[in-house]
Amino acid sequence: MLLCDIGNTSYHFLKDDFDYKEDVKVFNPSDVKGLVYYICVNTEIKKILLKLNNWIDISKKIDKTAYYETMGIDRIIICESIQDGVIIDAGSAVTVDIVNNGVFEGGFIYPGIKAMSDTYKNISSALNYEFNFDLNLESLPKNSRDSISYAYLKLIYTEVISLNKAIYLTGGDSLKFSKIFKNAKIDKNLIFRAMLKYI
């Protein structure tokens, strides 16, 4: 069975236990001949897939009434997969969603690592550093690299920890963020496990 989670930058496939990505700019979905069960937050690609009979949109099977209208289907389906906790999905954006006793409480959207790193680089070439995920979050920074790393990582850390819930970490950058959220349950393919329920 072939599953696919389509985001802003890539098609993320799962074939049996093997997952791989294809760039949205170059991949042609009509090259896939078998059935594909998918969800998609990319509005341009949504239009293309509607014309392909072997691409099955499983978002129609999900009750979205507990969520808000413009909320990404990837966030919704992951929220539906847990009973209680904070879900951090670290991809091109980092979405943080809170589920309390099976009810979606709200969430927020933070820039992903690459997007935020580019932001600093564009503000000034003096801020062109990779984030330091080994940063000591207890101590105020006194160098440029740690000054941007602290802003990016400590601020989301404090907010998530203050929610006082179990933390689920997923998405392509989940391993990097696990250095900050040391007690999080890491499941890079949580989205696929969540999708399987609807097939």
Among 60, 140, 164, 182, binds its own copies (CB under 8 A): 140
Please identify which residue in the block is written with the tokens 């099955």: 56
DSSP conformational letter for 43: H
Q: Total residues contacting its own copies (rule CB under 8 A)?
A: 48
Among 23, 31, 53, 126, binds its own copies (CB under 8 A): 126
Asked whether 78 and 198 are in contact (CB, 8 A), the reply is: no
Asked whether position 55 contacts its own copies by CB under 8 A, the answer is no
**Which one of the spans 32-40, 57-65, 119-127, 175-183 is the region binding its own copies (CB under 8 A)?**
119-127
Asked whether position 48 contacts its own copies by CB under 8 A, the answer is no
**Which one of the spans 21-29, 55-63, 65-73, 168-176 is the region binding its own copies (CB under 8 A)?**
65-73
CA-closest candidate to residue 66, choices 105, 39, 27, 92: 105
**Which one of the spans 48-56, 145-153, 171-179, 188-196 is the region binding its own copies (CB under 8 A)?**
145-153
CA torsion through residues 189, 191, 194, 198, sign: negative
Number of Cβ atoms within 10 Å of the Cβ of 63: 8
Q: Which of 23, 31, 74, 187 is catalytic?
A: 74
Strands ordered across the beta sheet of 2-6: 18-23, 10-15, 2-6, 36-40, 55-57
Catalytic center residues:
74
